[in-house]
Chain A
Amino acid sequence: QSVLTQPPSASGTPGQRVTISCSGTRSSVGGNSVTWYQQLPGTAPKVLIHSNNQRPSGVPDRFSGSKSDSSASLAISGLQSEDEAVYSCAAWDDAIKGYVFGTGTKVTVL
């Protein structure tokens, strides 16, 4: 099963901006909405961004998403200690008729 490619790690100091990339294919990211999930240690994933750039109610506006062609990005501005988590992108893949997750990026606040 194909997966979406993310960097394994990212880090920043409090207040900094961190960006995470997500690379897919035309049939996945290129043709469908991207969702970003945040997974805090020991908990289930939570939707951070859906429909490429939409934040559910309750998600701080420090989090933003974008998409261009077959790639997507998640930006965290004003990094806070509670943002330490694993972030995964995901999208439906029309070619395989399945939902593909990114490889996950662990964000560390220095």
Chain B
Amino acid sequence: EVQVLESGGGLVQSGGSLTLSCAASGFTFSTYAMTWVRQSPGKGLEWVSTISSSSISKYYANSVEGRFTVSRDNSKRTLFLQMNNVRVEDTAVYYCAKERIQFLEWTSALDSWGQGTQVTVSP
């Protein structure tokens, strides 16, 4: 069974840093692009970042470019999101999700999602 499980969320002050992790199982992690998506309270889904299977390609939303860094360790089947200089508007549930198409370098459809991890940024 395909599973992705986020961790690392919590309360952080504005300007601080936090690292989210996503542990994957049940599929060949090293062959799928992975994506972070966030959802603020009562709002819609917002794409944050995508990393290709080999880490060669990394894409970021304008809202986080230069502050967040996506990475992965294929040997440990784990995805990361390093969040620096966080802002109040970064408060959201952060989801880790798997791309549906093997070896695709970007995002087409996210077919497996974690339960999300809450990140709260205080002023």
Once A and B bind, how many residue pairs between them come within 8 Å at the CB atom?
Answer: 72
Interface contact B100-A1, CB-CB below 8 Å: no
Contact bitstring B98-111, A, C-beta under 8 A = 1, else 0: 00100000111111
Please provide the chain B residues from 3 to 50 with a CB less than 8 Å away from any CB of chain A in the complex: 35, 37, 44-47, 50
Interface contact B108-A104, CB-CB below 8 Å: no
Inter-chain contacts of B44 with A (CB < 8 A): 3, 86, 88, 101-104
CA distance A52 to B84 in the complex (A): 36
Chain B interface size, as a band, is 20 to 34
* Interface of A (DSSP majority class): strand
Query: Residues of A at under 8 Å CB distance from B?
Result: 1, 3, 32-33, 35, 37, 39, 44-47, 50-51, 56, 86, 88, 90, 92, 96-104
A/B interface sample: 17 pairs, CB < 8 A: A1-B47, A1-B63, A3-B44, A39-B45, A44-B114, A45-B37, A45-B95, A50-B109, A50-B111, A56-B111, A86-B44, A88-B44, A90-B109, A92-B107, A98-B61, A99-B35, A99-B106
